[in-house]
Structure 1
Amino acid sequence: MINKLKQFIERMKEKLLPKNDINKALGLDIALSSDMANAIQGWLNIAENKPPWVNEESGVYSLKLPNAIVREFYNTVTSELKTSITNNEFLEEQYKYVIDDMSEWLQNALLKGGIALKPYIKNDEIFVDYVDAESFFPVSYDGRKRITAGVFVEHIVKGKTLYTRLEFQKYEDHVHTFVNVAYAKKNYDNSNFQRDGSLGNQISLTDVPEWEELETEFTISNVDKPLFAYWRVPVLNDVDTTSPLGVPIYHPATDLIQKADEQYGRYIWEFEGGELAVHASEDLFEVDSNDKPKLPEGKKRLYRPLEVDSSSGNKSGKLPMDVFSPSLRDENYANGYNNILKRIEFNCGLSYGDLSDPQALEKTAQEIRTSKQRKYATVTAIQTTLQSALEHLVYILNIYAIGLNRSNLKEVELEINWGDSVLVDSETQRAIDMQEVAAGLLPKWRYKMKWQGLTEEQAKAEVNEENENGIEYED
């Protein structure tokens, strides 16, 4: 295995780091087509707010709509998330770190198409690396597109040296194999983090303090799943339908996002180009020491001196003074921009008004509900697939905890509750619950548990205090 990986390293020296032309390696095909590699590079550029259509000279700037789309989905998906491991305190502690980090890694995954969750042990604790499309390359996957082998790339820059670690992981027949190889590149230009295609010279893992405890090659047996979990955004990958990798949540609206940026540029130009101005002959102004027109203080933006003789006019018919104040077409441009936003919402599975102006919507109650149902379907798909990834991750955490003698569980009790506020907002649901309490359909103590965050014991105690007859509730 290690000899194959060395061959793999050599063959990837000029292919891996640019990230856009990875071909055969390790005696297998890297499961990444050239179309997919190019698409990933484009998504990375957009994630860094460098979309290819931005052109300052043409007045086209990025409105960061992909980030807005990601943030809206992230907030909706996780706003009511409650999750914990209930039968092992050590696992719960390690798992809590992952959930606390979710704001970063989940948004990153939505923005780039997916993410690999790779646990590892250090100092008798379990940490998790969140590896995105830039640093994870699938090697093999099963018939359900579940990745079973892949290469993880890690870079560390110290001074002018770039250290690179390639970690190959493979799951097969209940055995998970790990292989690590490290390289160092001297005189690395840190100002240009785009790799130049060379890994440098192979070094020992012990040469890098952060990697000195890692083994070159080892295996873990009797496992039922790969010891890394991959979550992909549940959107059709029309770049490469055979790929196990995902596409960004905004991918179905990429072209429309470009149109929106361009349209907003026209909208801004309408104000800039139609700005009030006074065109006046130069000889109507005093002159400065350089014999140039001296414009009124604080009015330089208003006046535009012209070479026109104010006493006799000129043959072109220009007047010695003329006020430029055209009628603005801002409403037309704004409506056009808003219509593009609504189409983006439709293509991405958002509700109308998430990006577009909600005041400009003329929709029936049924159309609004259909819009919410579309978003509900998208959010549910994200939650369902993400829950599977979290369950897979918890399985790995338990395997490692068993190795640390911190767990002896065969089954981990993982509770995940996403809430249900996509179709019905919290205030509306609360009002419905109050009506059910009044009608005797919902116990008051359950209402207090749900909306006041009380335990069952606390809620029943409060109800008993409020009840004149002191009715006790059965457990």
Structure 2
Amino acid sequence: MGLIETIKNLFKRGGYALAGESLKTINEHPKVNIDPRELARIQRNISQYEGDYPKVEYVNSYGDKKKRDYMSLNMRKLSADVLSGLVFNEQCDIYVSDASDEDENENTLKQAHEYITHVFEHNKFKKNLSDYLEPMLALGGLAARPYFNEDNNEIELSWAIADAFFPLRSNSNGIPEGVMKDTTIKVEGDKTFYYTLLEFHEWEKSETGDDLYVITNELYRSDNQSEIGKRVPLEDLYEGMEEQTYIKGLSRPQFNYLKPAGFNNINPHSPLGLGIADNAISTLKKINDIYDQFWWEVKMGQRTVFVSDAMVNVHYDEAGNAPTEVFDPDVNVYKAMHMGDDKDPVKDVTNDIRTEQYISAINQSLRTLEMELKLSVGTFSFDGRSMKTATEIVSENDLTYRTRNKNVYEVEQFIKGLVVSILELAKFYKVYKGPIPSFEEIGVDFDDGVFQDRSALLRFYGQAKQFGFIPSVEAIQRIFKVPKKTAEEWMDLIVEERTDMDPMEIETFRNSRQFGIEE
């Protein structure tokens, strides 16, 4: 950093100090106004997701207060993991294709498809989205935004979970303005400092009346992890970063926000989403309490035998020789007790562990949790039974399958919005020159083969085609989840193959279509 920049930063730092720009929480920023209950809910969700619970206090046999770890079943994480695996996998296919029949448009949108494929591969998008869906479902939200990396001229992606994205403004169509938070830890000497970058995304009107998208960066520094701290120059951590960037020509925000399907009934006026277990807090606590008590009973239920202290105490004879030890010195089962003249010097006081009762209680609570999460009965089990397969889920018109489909729609809209944001940003930085597709021209195939019986689909659409209810190209698209252009190419190949058949083969082909293949 040069001398001039150092002097500028000193003036900036002094200006920030005079302006009193110091924040304890994100809500103290003048641009941010979030219901404190929402912030508390998100923080609670994160603690539960991490399995971070306070220690259990208890009184031992001597009346002393003791503490021990709280043992929990992390059902918030497990339920989110189960649902995220059903919603999205890395076999998902994302493509851009034009809905019209004009070759020129198809060729230009082919550029969009190729560029998006490159960006997603460069960012390992499918893997990252697959990973981030779990905390999104568990905590209630996820944001992703593209940014231009000048070092390699690539569009890259930044992710923010529920505690790192906050809305500035919202409407019925979503969240047009928001702030993303990113924390960096830096050790300076023997002290640890926490740098928090706040990135504000807002809209402004230019002098000509056009919409300008403004990204404002603010950096804060604190030696307390729970506080955002005092504002400092960006150059303290991010050399060359501009405080404000203006982007024109955008049709939508650069960030894309994803939340679980469903309405926020806990705070109906909030645009933020709920974690899938936010309406099951009492059930989660019941499951954890039962499991904690079960674990403690197992730990305390080891074999205990009281024996006469005469059998344990060491006595020396007149010659000073000690008798041979009765018990192995490494065994902790036996406890000495004065029994006087009791004829039975050994008493087994071990109590049976109530395993069946605890397992039954946990499984009953799991049934309640399944109902509250809108998952099918049998999704979870504490008695070693295997979970339902995807085939069983769809064959039973399963509740889990319907819940999964609602979240698939949310993820589909999120991906489409991200595609448009990437292409618009790339066009602004002149690394992409093609057109911007509409949502209708972006396809997302979630690879539902594991949930759908392709044979049943083939029979259904085959009959619809036979009676003239659907064109062949459309049937191919729906059965095999391919773009229209690919379906047309397949149809051309099918026609070519049929023209090469001899008359007998053509007649056999027609009969097989009408009456089915003879077995």
Range class of TM-score, shorter chain: 0.7 to 0.9
Does residue 1:121 correspond to 2:119, yes or no?
Answer: no
Does residue 1:181 correspond to 2:257, yes or no?
Answer: no
1:279 aligned residue (306, 317, 324): 306
Could you tell me which residue of structure 2 aligns to residue 195 of structure 1? Answer: 226
Shift of 1:168: 1.2
| Contact kept? 1:44, 1:112, Cα under 8 Å | yes
Name the amino acid aligned to 1:323.
D
Q: How many residues align?
A: 429
TM-score by length of 1: 0.76
Change (3 A) 1:212 1:9: farther
Name the amino acid aligned to 2:405.
T
| Contact kept? 2:424, 2:436, Cα under 8 Å | no
| Contact kept? 2:370, 2:377, Cα under 8 Å | yes
Change (3 A) 1:79 1:399: closer
| Contact kept? 2:359, 2:382, Cα under 8 Å | no
1:92 aligned residue (95, 117, 120): 117
Which SS does the other structure have where 2:229 is aligned? coil
- Note the 1:415-430 alignment, pairs <5 A: 415-420=443-448, 425=451, 429=453
For 1:274 and 1:322, the matched residues in 2 are separated by 16
1:409 aligned residue (421, 428, 435): 435
1:331 aligned residue (307, 332, 356): 356
1:25 aligned residue (30, 51, 62): 30
Which SS does the other structure have where 2:93 is aligned? strand
Could you tell me which residue of structure 1 aligns to residue 332 of structure 2? Answer: 301
1:387 aligned residue (401, 404, 412): 412
For 1:393 and 1:171, the matched residues in 2 are separated by 18
Does residue 1:349 correspond to 2:358, yes or no?
Answer: no
Could you tell me which residue of structure 1 aligns to residue 74 of structure 2? Answer: 64
Does residue 1:170 correspond to 2:202, yes or no?
Answer: yes
Which SS does the other structure have where 1:296 is aligned? coil
| Identity value in percent | 21
Shift of 1:358: 7.9
| Contact kept? 2:301, 2:353, Cα under 8 Å | yes
2:23 aligned residue (11, 14, 21): 14
Shift of 1:391: 0.9
Could you tell me which residue of structure 2 aligns to residue 136 of structure 1? Answer: 165
Could you tell me which residue of structure 1 aligns to residue 286 of structure 2? Answer: 259
Name the amino acid aligned to 1:304.
K
For 2:184 and 2:90, the matched residues in 1 are separated by 37
| Contact kept? 1:85, 1:95, Cα under 8 Å | no
| Contact kept? 1:42, 1:51, Cα under 8 Å | no
Name the amino acid aligned to 1:168.
F
Shift of 1:13: 2.5
Change (3 A) 1:360 1:286: same
- Note the 1:243-258 alignment, pairs <5 A: 243-258=270-285
Could you tell me which residue of structure 2 aligns to residue 377 of structure 1? Answer: 402
Name the amino acid aligned to 2:30.
A
Could you tell me which residue of structure 2 aligns to residue 157 of structure 1? Answer: 185
Deviates more, 1:124-133 or 1:348-357: 348-357
Change (3 A) 1:31 1:85: farther
For 2:135 and 2:323, the matched residues in 1 are separated by 55
CA shift digits 1:209-252 (9 cap, x unpaired): xx334322232223221121111122432332111111212212
Change (3 A) 1:433 1:38: closer
- Note the 1:30-41 alignment, pairs <5 A: 30-41=32-43
Gaps (5+ residues) in structure 1? 362-366
Does residue 1:236 correspond to 2:263, yes or no?
Answer: yes
| Contact kept? 2:72, 2:291, Cα under 8 Å | no
For 2:299 and 2:69, the matched residues in 1 are separated by 11
For 2:397 and 2:367, the matched residues in 1 are separated by 13
Shift of 1:372: 5.5
For 1:164 and 1:369, the matched residues in 2 are separated by 45
Name the amino acid aligned to 2:180.
F
Which SS does the other structure have where 2:275 is aligned? coil
Change (3 A) 1:162 1:274: closer
Could you tell me which residue of structure 2 aligns to residue 364 of structure 1? Answer: none
For 1:78 and 1:292, the matched residues in 2 are separated by 71
Change (3 A) 1:55 1:369: farther
Which SS does the other structure have where 2:404 is aligned? helix
Change (3 A) 1:385 1:437: closer
Change (3 A) 1:263 1:406: same
Shift of 1:11: 6.9
TM-score by length of 2: 0.70
For 1:258 and 1:238, the matched residues in 2 are separated by 20
**Max Rg structure:** 2
For 2:323 and 2:130, the matched residues in 1 are separated by 58
| Contact kept? 2:394, 2:451, Cα under 8 Å | no
For 1:335 and 1:372, the matched residues in 2 are separated by 27
Does residue 1:83 correspond to 2:89, yes or no?
Answer: no
Change (3 A) 1:129 1:356: same
Change (3 A) 1:402 1:196: closer
Change (3 A) 1:368 1:40: closer
For 1:249 and 1:50, the matched residues in 2 are separated by 19
Change (3 A) 1:438 1:275: farther
Name the amino acid aligned to 1:43.
N
Which SS does the other structure have where 1:256 is aligned? helix
Does residue 1:340 correspond to 2:365, yes or no?
Answer: yes
Shift of 1:344: 0.7
CA shift digits 1:109-134 (9 cap, x unpaired): 12221011121100311111111222
Which SS does the other structure have where 1:134 is aligned? helix
